[in-house]
Amino acid sequence: MLTGFPMPDFTDRNWLWFATAFYLTGFVLGTIALLRERRQSLAVTYAIVLAGFLIQTVGLYQRGLAVKGCPLGNTFEIFQFTAWSAIALYLVVGVTFRLSLLGYFTSLLSAVLTSVSLAIPAWDATRRVGAFGGNPWIEFHAALALFSYGVFALLALTSVMYLLQVFSLKKRHLHGVFAFLPSIRDLDHINLRLLTAGVAILSASLAVGSVYWLPDLDTVNLAKIITTLAVWAAYAVVLGLRLKAVLISKKFAWTCILLFAAALLSLQPVNSSRQPLSASPPAAASR
């Protein structure tokens, strides 16, 4: 447990800024390498992203201690958790598939998500109180749902990489960033795996949540249910169409990107439909 270690007296937001700095460093170093037409070392990228991930984990853990639960009570926390999930996935996928540039793009996405969430104080000014009614299963359901968003974030990234590679090959732009992109087939395979994983995790999340919704439908906001089920259904349909080879190649990649954008936008209505806002913002948690 972190509480047993001598830790610097930083607030959770301090830690999260440090993590953002690491993600930005990964992105900047990757950009420099690409501008020099050099391949960025996978090990270096991985180490920087891992350091950022560990620091972000400390920040989120501290926030979790302060709010006595999973930190998913406002837009700031949701963006942070989504970025954290995407990075966690990259740390597994990156080692397993060694997709070049995935670390670079993940650093970029996480840097954007975390820095935007940190730069807008209003997103962290208030938070939902008792968001999960003290029920660890509902908390688990929410964490799983957001983790699946992390998977879909990574899927959107690999879809962007796929489109860049197709553009590169079709338009004969083979140098610069294009020279280091993974192959079309590798990206297609990883896209399918990520989509399958994302749908499975979101399904599990909904299954856990439904145990509590179904017996007590009156307490659940209809907008939230519809939005969540729509996101799940959309991804499930896309998975079905991809497996049947009806939706493939560029159309599939574009769909994954647009769906993730829509899923991100849906977070706001889902979040605002939950319990009322706390009267005061959470104190910047320190150790």
Partner 1 sequence: MSDPAATFFLIGASHQTAPLQLRERLALTPDKLPSFHAALGALQGLREITVLNTCNRVEFYGVAESPAAVARLQETFCAFQGLPPDAFAAICRQAHGRAAIEHLLSVACGIESQMLGETEILGQVKDAYADAQTRRTTGPVLNRVFQKTFQYAKHVRTHTAINEGQISIANVAVDLALKIFGDLSSTRILLLGAGDIGEKTAKAFQSRGAASLTVASRTLGRAMELATAFNGTALPWQHVTEKLGDYSIVVGSTAAPDIVVSTADVTAAMKKRRAEPLFFIDLALPRDIDAAVAKLDNVFLYNLDDLAKIAEENLAARTAQVSHARQIVGEKAEAIWKQIEAQAS
Residue with Cβ nearer partner 1 (133 or 240): 240
* Residue 68 lies near partner 1 (rule: CB under 8 A): no
Supply the minimum distance, in Å, between the C-beta of residue 40 and partner 1.
14
* Residue 165 lies near partner 1 (rule: CB under 8 A): yes
**Binders of partner 1 among 102-131, rule CB under 8 A?**
none
Distances (CA, A) of 220 to 64, 74, 194, 275: 24, 18, 29, 10
Supply the minimum distance, in Å, between the C-beta of residue 107 and partner 1.
23
Under 8 Å between Cβ of 176 and 37: yes
Under 8 Å between Cβ of 49 and 23: yes
State the maximum Cα–Cα separation within the chain, in Å, rounded to a whole number: 60
Binding mask 166-205 for partner 1 (x = CB under 8 A): --xxx-x-xx-----xxxxxx-x-----------------
Residue with Cβ nearer partner 1 (223 or 251): 251
Residue with Cβ nearer partner 1 (229 or 243): 243
Binding mask 233-252 for partner 1 (x = CB under 8 A): ---------x--x--xxxx-
Q: Which one, of 1, 13, 10, lies nearest residue 282 by Cα?
A: 13
Q: Directed axis angle between helix 75-97 and helix 249-272, to 10°?
A: 150
Residue with Cβ nearer partner 1 (179 or 207): 179
Under 8 Å between Cβ of 110 and 82: no
What is the distance of C-alpha 220 from the center of its chain?
25
| Three-state DSSP class for residue 23 | helix
**Site size for partner 1 (CB under 8 A):** 21
Q: Would you tell me which residues interact with partner 1 (CB under 8 A)?
A: 37, 165, 168-170, 172, 174-175, 181-186, 188, 242, 245, 248-251
